[in-house]
Copies of this chain bind each other. A is one copy, B any other.
Amino acid sequence: MTDKLPDGFEPYGDNAGFGAAFGPVYLDSANCAMGFFVGPQHLNPIGGCHGGAMATFADHQIAAVRHLVGDGNVHLPTVSLTVDYLAPAFAGDWVHAAVMLVKVTRNLVFSQALITTRGNIIARASAIYRNYTASA
């Protein structure tokens, strides 16, 4: 399906552990965006994208704004993640997230994402991450 990958997106290199179970997530860091294709491994029992899969995708949002946060490649652990589910996504859909870095404080990083497929908002997500860059 990567022939449908929109311009500007590159695979994000988290290919072990739960990143491998989820499958590829693509980043367009220049635009603070990320995306993935809903595959059979993301579905819930009624054939839509599983809430856990959407939450997993949403938890990646820090990767799309990581270059704006600060030094290095230090892992920034999630403190809080909220996902509101507005409409379903289905197998084959390209799911796009526009990520906003809202605030960086000494201890925390706040970001949020609007998640769309074919132009329709299907989820929104807010996240707080632990900031290790500023205290370094």
Interface residues of A (CB under 8 A from B): 14, 16-22, 40-46, 48, 50-53, 55-57, 59-60, 75, 77-88, 102-103, 105, 107-108, 110, 112, 114, 121, 124, 126, 128, 130
- Smallest CB-CB separation from A78: which chain B residue? B51
Contact (Cβ within 8 A) A52 B41: no
Tally of this chain's copies: 4
Q: Are B46 and A20 in contact (CB under 8 A)?
A: no
Q: Known contacts A55-B81, A75-B45, A80-B128; is A114 also within 8 Å of B102 by CB?
A: yes
A86 touching B59 in the complex, CB below 8 Å, given contacts A17-B42, A102-B124: no
Complex CA gap A127/B16 in Å reads 28
Using known A-B contacts A40-B17, A52-B55, A75-B46, determine if residue A82 contacts B85 with beta carbons closer than 8 Å. no
